[in-house]
Amino acid sequence: MACGREGIVTGRYCTVAVVAYVVSIAVVLGLLYAIDYTYHDYGDDAQVYLARSVPFVGSEVPRLDGIDGTGIMVAVIDTGVDFEHPDMLGWGEDGKVAGGYNLLWRGGSLPTDLNGHGTQVAGVIAADGSLQGVAPKSKILAYKVSEDGSGVSSELIARAIGMAAADGADIINISLGINKTNPVIEEAIDRVVSDGILVVVAAGNTGPEPFTIGSPGRNHGALTVGATYNNLTSSLVATLQIEDKSYIVIPMADSPSLSMPVMSDVVFAGYAKAEDFEDLDVDGAIVIVERGSDVEDEMLYFSLKERNAADAGAAALIVYNNVPGMFLGELVHEFIEPGYAPRIPVVSIGYEDGVEIRYNATRPGSVMDASLNLFHNPDFVVHFSSRGPVSPFYIKPDLVAPGAYINTTQPISSHNITSGTSYSAPHVSGAAALLLHGKPDLDLYEIKSILMTTAEPVADAHGNLFSVHAAGSGRLDIADAHRADLAVMPPSLVVITSSQERSAEAHLEMRPVGSAHEVGDIDVSFDVPADVLEYGHVRMADDLLAVRLAVLEPSVGGEEDAPYGEHEGRIIITHNEVEYVVPFLLHYTAGSIDAALGEDVDGHRHLSFDVGHPDGWGFAKIDVIYAATGEAITATSTPGSTGSAQVEVFRDGLYWVEAQIMVENRTYSAYDTIYVGEPDEGGHVSVAYPPIPTVGDMSKSTFSPLAELPLRQVLIAAGVVGVVGVVGVAVGVRKRRVPAGH
Helices and strands, counts by H and E, the chain: 12, 36
The size of the chain, in residues, is: 742
Find the helix or strand (DSSP H, E) in which 194 lies: helix 183-194
How many Å apart are CA 592 and CA 188, to the nearest integer? 34
pLDDT in tens, 75-113: 999 999 999 999 998 999 889 999 999 999 877 789 999
Greater pLDDT, 585 or 250? 585
- What DSSP line would sit under 28-95, residue for residue? HHT----SSS--B--GGGGHHHHHHHHHHTTTHHHHHTT-S-TT-EEEEEES---TTSTTT--BSTTS
Question: Ramachandran region of residue 136, left (φ > 0), alpha (ψ -120 to 50) or beta?
Answer: alpha
What pTM was estimated for this model as a whole?
Answer: 0.76
* R_g of the chain computed on alpha carbons: 27
Query: What pLDDT was estimated at residue 400?
Result: 97
Q: For residue 479, give Cα distances in angstroms to 31, 535, 602.
A: 35, 30, 56
47-56 and 117-126 are packed helices; what angle lies between their axes, rounded to 10 degrees?
Answer: 50
Detail the DSSP E strand segments found in 426-518. 486-489, 493-498, 503-512
CA 264 to chain centre: 34
User: 159: helix, coil or strand?
Assistant: helix
Query: What pLDDT was estimated at residue 721?
Result: 27
How many Å apart are CA 213 and CA 211, to the nearest integer? 6
Greater pLDDT, 547 or 33? 547
How many Å apart are CA 68 and CA 138, to the nearest integer? 7
Query: What pLDDT was estimated at residue 15?
Result: 43
Q: Picking from 11-25, 343-357, 378-392, 535-549, which range would have the lowest pLDDT averaged per residue?
A: 11-25
Query: What pLDDT was estimated at residue 48?
Result: 33
Query: What pLDDT was estimated at residue 22?
Result: 35
Pairing of strands 97-102, 139-144: parallel
How many Å apart are CA 605 and CA 599, to the nearest integer? 4
Greater pLDDT, 180 or 113? 113
How many Å apart are CA 465 and CA 240, to the nearest integer? 18
- Give percent of the chain with pLDDT exceeding 70: 81
Query: What pLDDT was estimated at residue 719?
Result: 27
User: 413: pLDDT confidence band, cut at 50, 70 and 90?
Assistant: confident
Query: What pLDDT was estimated at residue 514?
Result: 80
Average pLDDT over residues 141-170: 91
Rank 253-257, 298-302, 729-733 by mean pLDDT and report only the highest.
298-302
Rank 128-137, 694-703, 724-733 by mean pLDDT and report only the highest.
128-137
pLDDT in tens, 610-661: 999 999 999 999 999 998 888 899 999 998 765 567 898 888 889 999 999 9
Average pLDDT over residues 10-24: 40
Which structural domains are found in the chain, ordered by start?
8-226+390-439 (3.40.50.200), 236-376 (3.50.30.30), 485-589 (2.60.40.10), 592-677 (2.60.40.10)
> Cis (ω within 30 of 0) for the bond into 216?
yes
- Note whether 595 and 576 are within 8 A (CB): no
How many Å apart are CA 300 and CA 272, to the nearest integer? 9
In 101-153, alpha helices (H)? 117-126
Closest to 248 in 3D by CA, of 207, 203, 287, 284: 207
pLDDT in tens, 269-316: 999 999 999 999 999 999 999 999 999 989 899 999 999 999 999 999
Closest to 198 in 3D by CA, of 29, 529, 442, 519: 442
Greater pLDDT, 183 or 729? 183
Average model confidence (pLDDT) for the chain?
82
List residues bridging with 635 in a β-sheet: 622
Pairing of strands 171-174, 152-153: unpaired
- What DSSP line would sit under 596-663, residue for residue? EEEE-TT--EEEEEEEE-TT--SEEEEEEEETTT--EEEEEE-TT-GGGG-EE--S-EEEEEEEEEEE
Query: What pLDDT was estimated at residue 414?
Result: 87
Q: Does the pLDDT value for residue 584 go beyond 50?
A: yes
User: 526: helix, coil or strand?
Assistant: strand
Query: What pLDDT was estimated at residue 516?
Result: 77
Query: What pLDDT was estimated at residue 91?
Result: 94
User: 199: helix, coil or strand?
Assistant: strand
- Give percent of the chain with pLDDT exceeding 90: 58
Q: Does the pLDDT value for residue 416 go beyond 70?
A: yes
Q: How many CB atoms lie within 10 A of CB 604?
A: 12
Q: Does the pLDDT value for residue 687 go beyond 70?
A: no
Rank 89-93, 165-169, 539-543, 720-724 by mean pLDDT and report only the highest.
165-169
Greater pLDDT, 209 or 213? 213
Q: How many CB atoms lie within 10 A of CB 106?
A: 7
Beta-carbon contacts of 549 under 8 Å, excluding residues fewer than 6 positions away, are 495, 497, 503, 504, 506, 528, 533, 534, 535, 569, 584, 586
DSSP one-letter code for 213: -
- Note whether 16 and 327 are within 8 A (CB): no
Amino acid of residue 414: S
User: 694: pLDDT confidence band, cut at 50, 70 and 90?
Assistant: very low
Q: Does the pLDDT value for residue 160 go beyond 80?
A: yes
Beta-carbon contacts of 63 under 8 Å, excluding residues fewer than 6 positions away, are none
CA 85 to chain centre: 30
List residues bridging with 525 in a β-sheet: 572
Query: What pLDDT was estimated at residue 714?
Result: 22
CA 67 to chain centre: 27
How many Å apart are CA 87 and CA 573, to the nearest integer? 40
DSSP one-letter code for 277: G
pLDDT in tens, 489-530: 999 999 999 999 999 999 999 999 987 788 999 999 999 988
User: 724: pLDDT confidence band, cut at 50, 70 and 90?
Assistant: very low
How many Å apart are CA 619 and CA 722, to the nearest integer? 40
Query: What pLDDT was estimated at residue 196?
Result: 94
Query: What pLDDT was estimated at residue 555?
Result: 57
Q: How many CB atoms lie within 10 A of CB 371?
A: 15
Q: Does the pLDDT value for residue 560 go beyond 70?
A: no
